Amino acid sequence: MTKPVVEKPEATPLNPYTEITPELVAEHGLSEEEYATILRALNREPSGTELGIFSAMWSEHCSYKSSKVWLKTLPTEGPQVIQGPGENAGVVDIGDGQAAIFKMESHNHPSFIEPYQGAATGVGGILRDVFTMGARPVANLNALRFGEPDHPKTRHLVGGVVAGIGGYGNCIGVPTIGGEMNFHSAYNGNILVNAMTIGVAQTNKIFYSAAAGIGNPVVYVGSKTGRDGIHGATMASAEFDDQSEEKRPTVQVGDPFTEKLLVEACLELMSSDAIVAIQDMGAAGLTSSAVEMASKGGVGIDINLDHVPTREQAMNAYEIMLSESQERMLMILEPGREDEARAIFEKWDLDFAVIGELTDTERLVLRHDGGIVCDLPLDPIGEEAPEYERPWEETPKQARLRPHEVEGTDDMLGTLKTMMASPDLCSRRWVWEQYDHMVMGDTVIRPGSDAAVVRVHGTNKGIAASTDVTPRYCFADPVEGGKQAVAEAWRNLTASGAKPLAITNCLNFGNPTKPRIMGQFAGCVTGIGEAARALDFPIVSGNVSLYNETNGVGVLPTPAIGGVGLIADLEKRMTLALPDEDDLVLLVIGNAKGHLGQSIYLREMTGKEEGAPPAVDLEAELRHGNFVRDLITDGIARAVHDVSDGGLLVTIAEMALAGKKGVALCEPKDCDHPHAFWFGEDQGRYVVALSADDADKVITTALKAKVPVTRVGKTTGDQLTIGDTNTISLTDLNDAFESWLPTFMAG
Amino acid sequence: MKASVIVFPGSNCDRDVAVSLEQAMGQKPNMVWHADSELPPSDLIVIPGGFSYGDYLRCGAIAGNAHIIRPVKEAAEKGAMVLGICNGFQVLTETGLLPGALMRNADLKFICKDAPLSVETSDTPFTKGYKQGQTISVPVAHHDGNYRADEDTLDRLEGEGRVAFRYADNPNGSARDIAGILSENKRVLGMMPHPERCADPLLGGTDGKALFTAIVEELS
């Protein structure tokens, strides 16, 4: 089988001849130049099935054609990295022969069209990316962006997405431990649903996707193939318009029960050495898994589609290859191990079918309905997909807003209460109480703190995780915004006592053919790279989602970062909750100049979104974070919270509410602009609570280590007070904080 | 003592409860596959939480008819202790070992949080480690925990001291705030809250531990 099997694919009753017209090419999202490349590579016209395969593989979603040149600039290595980008998920070493395997992925377009199923299958897809590598999934997280609250679709979308994420994760029994959610009008027509999964595997039992072994059986397992989700990858690579709802049939339907069986069956088979390679059928289904596995292994693959388990009658080759039916995997087995593997999958009531074998032709050959319906050289499909250096323009810098340019307030605590009840700062309890965040019995820090932490089962170490990005910063200054997203993830892990290990990302942007959008992408990736290098926080996996536009309006640049860290000894974990103890001293670590540009204060209290975002000083970030982590490890810190959205007063209020412990704050000395002091969003800062006995010593050490430190107050009673007269009860504040989201969702 | 945890396809708290049992008993329980028609000798049978068979028909309905259920019922009739947690409680109502049914939560949403419970009776082999009237905090995590039965049944349950736990702050609309009920001989307990999620100080609570300790004392 070294030569092409056929010169031209054969027509069969199920796969009649398709005339390839320019319209058909355009419908498949391929440009004229891309089609010309296909003709040159094949030296003939493709069949309809072949055109579909090129269309899916060369879609932005699968090929990264606009983003690849930039992604190559990111740091992806480090002693902790076992596997960087390019596999189903990234792998980092967590000691004791164990690895954390994780990735984040978008499911934006499907979730906008059909929020429950779109979000649910987003969770299902990312879970498969992780367990396909041999890991038992141990935690899910997410990053969600919705339109403005009073947009008519927002409530429906929030309700559906949250229920969908819960519906899938709760049933499969993997705790959803963290996430983030923002509202902004830029997402009115294009919400973002990014899902992340972390799994744990033995380092000597990690499974990869490169196919190997000529003659080895190609095996299909999981659910049957139906007509759902055909061309999902292509849909995910196009803009939306008013007719987008007509695309509902391209959204897949999730079955978490089957996926639970698939996890157990795969892990059971993985405990033997029967599997050579394995990959889930995600975007572009059987097409991408077959092409990518064979391409990576440098082999050919010959599949008989008659053997693919189908859910519906008379499916043709095009439909089988492009279906995105969920809960399916493709495996290459060692020869002769089929029966053993089949027994496991049958025990779990899952389909198991040998559908082909590996060849030495480096071609993808598909047989169906009595004919050969596809015979393509693999190189041009996979490894030589188009790659564009799209023109881009830098985002114009905005002037820095000075504190006196932003209207102040006399009522700091009233302002605090208003801000704590604003959509972007209020409690997310309504969301995470719909997620089973405790199943598996290892959730050590639950949602609501800086990072959530799960214990590595059977050990005393923990994996900390957080998802972060501040899109309004990225929009105002992509480079600083990119840096800030990485720094905040690093800071959140640090505040939990973890040593940050590595990140995954999900880069959500608009239409990359617009130089302005491409400039946002380039800027954010540049900033992410700078921060990741400075903080030794490499990128080990990720996903790019472009064309997040509706009727020409793009989303805010939203490069969501999923950070993962390790807590070596869980006794040394930390949360933001103030202990119920009077006279603990609150210290602010880090410098502040009262930066109000792009702050929540500016937006919520003055209705403006302007100015440069706060700058990120990466050297200071590292110094401050390491200092704080040492305070945690040394058992000195009693509560820690990083300062982010809303600034210092919001940070302290969150600590007080989490611990149900009051705080007395000092009025800032010689301060002309207290609103900037309390609500400025300067970066690289933490609030640390510690005993009065430790405070003096810590201040001295901090100053020696060039870590700025300020005393701001102490714990006491059950109120939040500033100076002698300004007081708010925690009950009042908590009502404001907790009530916005449930009230909004109740309509 | 010998304990068995029944594993259905879709069970997802089987490992969690096995960990709690092992901590209390000092040995691992048997993990028994749903398709088996024989149960190893068991003093305690646990039906764990999860989504047996996806709960696609009605929560617990398919599991209630699995092969393994016949020997479970036989063992219960002979006096074995049976503990059904969450989906396990739903399964027990489907098998008829416990009366009533679990309906969708009143607000129609899945709910996962710590729930304060009042211990209604300490006069059972499951709850003798608590004081009657004691408030304990045990996590709930369910979509269908709204306990329903006809008024006569509810009166009988109350009259016979068969309400084991009541919600202090009813999260799901359950009739008479019922969180857990017992069989007539008080050796079968079904409860929606998850005691296995609060039997380890690292997980934020240990109020569930006394339940497992009491079972082990009873059966040792």
- Which of A171, A428, A442, A574 should one mutate to test binding to chain B, selecting the residue with the greatest count of B CBs within 10 A? A171
In terms of CA atoms, which chain A residue is nearest residue B52?
A: A257
Tens of pLDDT, residue by residue over A631-658, are 999 999 999 999 999 999 999 999 999 9
Q: Which helix (H) or strand (E) holds B173?
A: none
pLDDT band at A6 (very low <50, low <70, confident <90, very high): low
How high is the pLDDT of residue A3?
46
Q: Number of H helices and number of E strands within chain A? A: 25, 28
CA atoms within 13 A on the CB side of A629: 20
Judged against a pLDDT cut of 50, whether residue A187 lies above it is answered with yes
Judged against a pLDDT cut of 50, whether residue A1 lies above it is answered with no
Which of helix, strand or coil describes residue A55?
helix
Residues 6+ apart with CB under 8 A from B60: B52, B87, B89, B90, B91, B92, B93, B94, B102
CA atoms within 13 A on the CB side of A95: 13
B56, B62, B66, B69: CA torsion to nearest 10: 130
Residue A259 contacts B where some CB pair is shorter than 8 Å: no
3-state SS, A198-232, equals: EEEEECCCCCCCCCCCCCCEEEEEECCECCCCCCH
Judged against a pLDDT cut of 50, whether residue A526 lies above it is answered with yes
How would you class A41 by CB atoms within 10 Å of its CB: exposed for 0-12, middle for 13-18, buried for 19 or more? middle
- Calculate how close chain A gets to B129, using CA atoms only, in Å: 22
How high is the pLDDT of residue A236?
60
How high is the pLDDT of residue A243?
65
How high is the pLDDT of residue A385?
84
A193 vs A161: CA distance, rounded Å: 8
Give the structural domain span for B79. Answer: 3-219
Residue A258 contacts B where some CB pair is shorter than 8 Å: yes
Judged against a pLDDT cut of 90, whether residue A552 lies above it is answered with no
CA dist list (Å): A569 to A497, A498, A635, A719 = 9, 9, 12, 34
Chain B residues lying within 8 Å of A438, measured CB to CB: 112, 139, 141, 194, 197, 203
pLDDT band at A670 (very low <50, low <70, confident <90, very high): confident
Judged against a pLDDT cut of 90, whether residue A62 lies above it is answered with no
Domain count for chain B: 1
Query: Is residue B194 annotated as a catalytic residue, yes or no?
Result: yes
Given a contact cutoff of 8 angstroms between Cβ atoms, the answer to whether A578 and A639 are in contact is: yes
In terms of CA atoms, which chain A residue is nearest residue B105?
A: A434
Percent of chain A whose pLDDT exceeds 90: 88
B164 vs B179: CA distance, rounded Å: 8
How high is the pLDDT of residue A246?
61
Residue A438 contacts B where some CB pair is shorter than 8 Å: yes
Q: Can you tell me the mean pLDDT for A509-530?
A: 97
- Calculate how close chain A gets to B30, using CA atoms only, in Å: 18
Q: Can you tell me the mean pLDDT for A40-65?
A: 91
Closest residue by Cα to residue A234 from A322, A325, A128: A322
User: Rg of chain B's alpha carbons, rounded to an integer?
Assistant: 15
Given a contact cutoff of 8 angstroms between Cβ atoms, the answer to whether A370 and A49 are in contact is: no
What residues form DSSP beta bridges with B102?
A: B147
Percent of chain A whose pLDDT exceeds 70: 96
CATH of the domain at B49: 3.40.50.880
pLDDT band at A4 (very low <50, low <70, confident <90, very high): very low
Supply A220's token pair: 């299909």
Phi, psi of A516 (to 5 degrees): -65, -45
Residues 6+ apart with CB under 8 A from B86: B13, B48, B49, B50, B140, B141, B142, B145, B191, B192, B193, B194
Tens of pLDDT, residue by residue over A116-125, are 999 999 999 9
Residue A575 contacts B where some CB pair is shorter than 8 Å: no
Chain A residues lying within 8 Å of B49, measured CB to CB: 439
Residue B139 contacts A where some CB pair is shorter than 8 Å: yes
The closest CB to that of B50, out of A173, A349, A455, belongs to A173
CA atoms within 13 A on the CB side of B94: 24
pLDDT band at A242 (very low <50, low <70, confident <90, very high): low
**Residue A11 CB neighbours (<10 A):** 15
pLDDT band at A228 (very low <50, low <70, confident <90, very high): confident
pLDDT per 10-residue tile (average), chain B, 220 residues: 96 98 97 94 98 94 95 97 98 98 97 98 97 98 98 98 98 98 98 98 95 96
Chain A residues lying within 8 Å of B109, measured CB to CB: 163, 434
How high is the pLDDT of residue A2?
40
Indicate the range of A58-67, A404-413, A558-567 predicted with least confidence.
A58-67
b or e along A180-209 (b: 16 or more beta carbons within 10 Å of the residue's beta carbon)? Answer: bbbbbebbbbbbbbbbbbbbbbeeeebbbb
Residue B56 contacts A where some CB pair is shorter than 8 Å: yes
Supply A395's token pair: 């985002």
B113 vs B119: CA distance, rounded Å: 18
A398 vs A615: CA distance, rounded Å: 12
Q: Can you tell me the mean pLDDT for A726-737?
A: 96
Given a contact cutoff of 8 angstroms between Cβ atoms, the answer to whether A559 and A507 are in contact is: yes
The closest CB to that of B12, out of A173, A442, A455, belongs to A173
How high is the pLDDT of residue A244?
62
Q: Which helix (H) or strand (E) holds A172?
A: helix A154-172
The closest CB to that of B112, out of A171, A438, A444, belongs to A438
CA dist list (Å): A324 to A125, A283, A516, A568, B133 = 10, 6, 33, 40, 54
Are A444 and B202 within 8 A, CB to CB? yes
Q: Which helix (H) or strand (E) holds A324?
A: none
Are A434 and B109 within 8 A, CB to CB? yes
Chain A residues lying within 8 Å of B50, measured CB to CB: 173
Catalytic residue among B13, B59, B94, B194: B194
Tens of pLDDT, residue by residue over A700-709, are 999 999 999 9
Given a contact cutoff of 8 angstroms between Cβ atoms, the answer to whether A398 and A39 are in contact is: no
**Residue A336 CB neighbours (<10 A):** 10
Supply A294's token pair: 């064979």
Q: Which helix (H) or strand (E) holds A82?
A: strand A81-83
Given a contact cutoff of 8 angstroms between Cβ atoms, the answer to whether A171 and A115 are in contact is: no
Given a contact cutoff of 8 angstroms between Cβ atoms, the answer to whether A583 and A714 are in contact is: yes
How high is the pLDDT of residue A251?
74
Judged against a pLDDT cut of 50, whether residue A196 lies above it is answered with yes
Q: Can you tell me the mean pLDDT for A172-180?
A: 97
User: Rg of chain A's alpha carbons, rounded to an integer?
Assistant: 26
Whether the complex's predicted ipTM surpasses the cut of 0.95: yes
Tens of pLDDT, residue by residue over A13-25, are 999 888 899 999 9
Residue A257 contacts B where some CB pair is shorter than 8 Å: yes
Q: Which helix (H) or strand (E) holds B65?
A: none
Chain A residues lying within 8 Å of B12, measured CB to CB: 171-173, 260, 439-440
Tens of pLDDT, residue by residue over A262-291, are 999 999 999 999 999 999 998 889 999 999
pLDDT band at A232 (very low <50, low <70, confident <90, very high): low
Query: Is residue B196 annotated as a catalytic residue, yes or no?
Result: yes
Closest residue by Cα to residue A640 from A587, A567, A715: A587
**Residue A483 CB neighbours (<10 A):** 30
Residue B104 contacts A where some CB pair is shorter than 8 Å: no
For the whole model, what pTM was predicted?
0.96
A608 vs B49: CA distance, rounded Å: 49
In terms of CA atoms, which chain A residue is nearest residue B197?
A: A441
Indicate the range of A237-241, A281-285, A502-506, B94-98 predicted with least confidence.
A237-241
Among residues 443-482 of chain A, which lie with CB inside 8 Å of chain B?
A: 443-444, 446, 455
**Residue A667 CB neighbours (<10 A):** 13
Closest residue by Cα to residue B64 from B41, B36, B97, B37: B97
How high is the pLDDT of residue A383?
63
Query: What is the DSSP code (8-state) at residue A612?
Result: P
Question: Which of A269 and A245 is assigned the larger pLDDT?
Answer: A269
A530 vs A510: CA distance, rounded Å: 23
How high is the pLDDT of residue B3?
98
**Cα angle, residue A370 at apex, residues A39 and A212 outer, rounded to 5°:** 65
> Helices in B41-183 by DSSP H: which ranges?
69-77, 87-95, 151-159
